[in-house]
């Protein structure tokens, strides 16, 4: 099994998303993360799909993505390291005594406090998927109330 980050530029209209998702689900593949939004061109959306699967099957899916009428362009970041970011919002249990410790921990990861309540704080962070997973692991012992992750967005490295 390997993890691929696949970027798909698609026509911005109804049906495109389920057509694309269908290629994964028909193989029994679960999408790890999926983000979709308009690009600078409002008629096109960019999807970033992170998925685990067999190498050959993912290659096949990429070809089938290219075949879809709604798909304008597909980039499979199988081997390239793209510019990759994910956003995290997380509510962490706090006490008077450990609040500072958690904020300190956040500082190491570049996480900011976005809201504070008497027994919890909400932290926000942007980073790579790996980076975000590390932060969650570090905070877990303090008690996590809720986590929401945006899913990865990715672009190719600019050519030098």
Restricted to residues 138-157, the positions that interact with other proteins (CB under 8 A) are: none
Which CB sits closer to other proteins, 27 or 149? 27
Rounded-to-integer distance, Cα 68 and Cα 77, Å: 19
Whether the CB-CB separation of 70 and 96 falls below 8 Å is answered with no
Helix (H, G, I), strand (E, B) or coil at 145: strand
Restricted to residues 88-127, the positions that interact with other proteins (CB under 8 A) are: none
Tell me the closest approach of the beta carbon of residue 119 to other proteins, in angstroms. 42
Which CB sits closer to other proteins, 76 or 86? 76
Residue 30 CB-density burial (10 A; 0-12 exposed, 13-18 middle, 19+ buried) = exposed
14 binds other proteins per the rule CB under 8 A: yes
18 binds other proteins per the rule CB under 8 A: yes
Residue 85 CB-density burial (10 A; 0-12 exposed, 13-18 middle, 19+ buried) = middle
Query: Which spans of this chain sit near other proteins (rule: CB under 8 A)?
Result: 10-11, 14-15, 18-19, 22, 26, 56, 59-60, 63-64, 66-73
């Amino acid at each position: 099994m390997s993890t691929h980050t696949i970027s798909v530029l698609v026509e911005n209209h109804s049906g495109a998303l389920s057509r694309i998702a269908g290629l994964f689900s028909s193989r029994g593949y679960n999408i790890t993360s999926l983000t979709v939004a308009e690009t600078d061109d409002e008629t096109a959306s960019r999807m970033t799909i992170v998925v685990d699967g067999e190498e050959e099957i993912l290659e096949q899916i990429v070809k089938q993505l290219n075949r879809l009428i709604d798909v304008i362009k597909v980039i499979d970041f199988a081997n390239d390291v793209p510019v990759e970011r994910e956003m995290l919002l997380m509510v962490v249990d706090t006490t008077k005594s450990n609040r500072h410790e958690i904020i300190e921990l956040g500082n190491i990861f570049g996480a900011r406090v976005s809201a504070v309540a008497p027994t919890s704080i909400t932290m926000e962070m942007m980073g790579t998927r790996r980076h975000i997973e590390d932060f969650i692991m570090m905070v877990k012992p303090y008690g996590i109330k809720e986590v929401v992750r945006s899913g990865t967005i990715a672009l190719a490295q600019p050519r030098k």
